[in-house]
């Protein structure tokens, strides 16, 4: 059996935004001031820049973290044998969506907090 390298995941409703997914099973020793979303992270946090279809290709390690986080609306579509090169960037209009908002919990980050005005 070939080792899983990458997986294409998609969100049911979100498009063209960066979704932050905290992995509560992986606390950080020292809080991290994230230059991407301008938030002080207390736990390992995955930043998923979704494309216009709401999809992204993630590594096997990120895939495992997303499965642990059990984010509603995330669909694991298919393994990818030759993933495209990627870089982290903000979604359209620089909008960052915290996955806890998707769950209906109190927000950790809003678009206003993530932007530098």
Q: Does residue 20 fall inside a structural domain?
A: yes
Q: Does residue 1 fall inside a structural domain?
A: no
Q: Check residue 37 and give its pLDDT.
A: 84
Q: Does residue 91 fall inside a structural domain?
A: yes
Please state, in angstroms and rounded to a whole number, the distance separating the CA atoms of residues 103 and 1. Answer: 35
Q: Does residue 51 fall inside a structural domain?
A: yes
Instruction: For the full predicted model, state whether its pTM sits above 0.95.
Output: no
- Are 44 and 69 in contact, with CB atoms under 8 Å apart? no
Q: Check residue 60 and give its pLDDT.
A: 87
Q: Does residue 43 fall inside a structural domain?
A: yes
Q: Check residue 52 and give its pLDDT.
A: 92
Q: Check residue 101 and give its pLDDT.
A: 44
Please state, in angstroms and rounded to a whole number, the distance separating the CA atoms of residues 40 and 30. Answer: 10
Q: Check residue 98 and give its pLDDT.
A: 56
Q: For the chain, what is the domain count? A: 1
Q: Check residue 5 and give its pLDDT.
A: 81
Q: Which residues of the chain have pLDDT under 70?
A: 1-4, 84-117
Q: Does residue 77 fall inside a structural domain?
A: yes
pLDDT tens per residue, range 78-107: 888 877 665 545 444 555 555 544 444 333
Q: Does residue 56 fall inside a structural domain?
A: yes
Q: Does residue 60 fall inside a structural domain?
A: yes
How far apart are the two ends of the chain, measured CA to CA in Å? 51
Strands (E), the chain: 6-11, 18-33, 40-49, 55-59, 74-79, 96-98
Pairing of strands 55-59, 40-49: unpaired
Q: Check residue 91 and give its pLDDT.
A: 47
β partners of residue 24? none
Domain of residue 45, residue span: 6-114
């Amino acid at each position: 059996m070939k080792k899983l390298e990458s997986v294409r995941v998609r969100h049911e409703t979100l498009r063209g935004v960066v979704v932050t997914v905290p992995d509560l099973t992986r606390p950080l020793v020292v809080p991290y001031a994230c230059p991407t979303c301008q938030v002080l992270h207390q736990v390992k946090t995955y930043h998923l820049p979704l494309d216009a279809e709401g999809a992204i290709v993630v590594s096997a390690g990120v895939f495992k973290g997303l499965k642990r986080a059990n984010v509603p609306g995330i669909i694991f579509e298919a393994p990818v044998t030759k993933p495209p090169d990627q870089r982290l960037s903000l979604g359209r209009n620089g909008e960052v969506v915290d996955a806890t908002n998707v769950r209906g919990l109190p927000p950790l980050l809003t678009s206003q907090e993530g932007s530098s005005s």
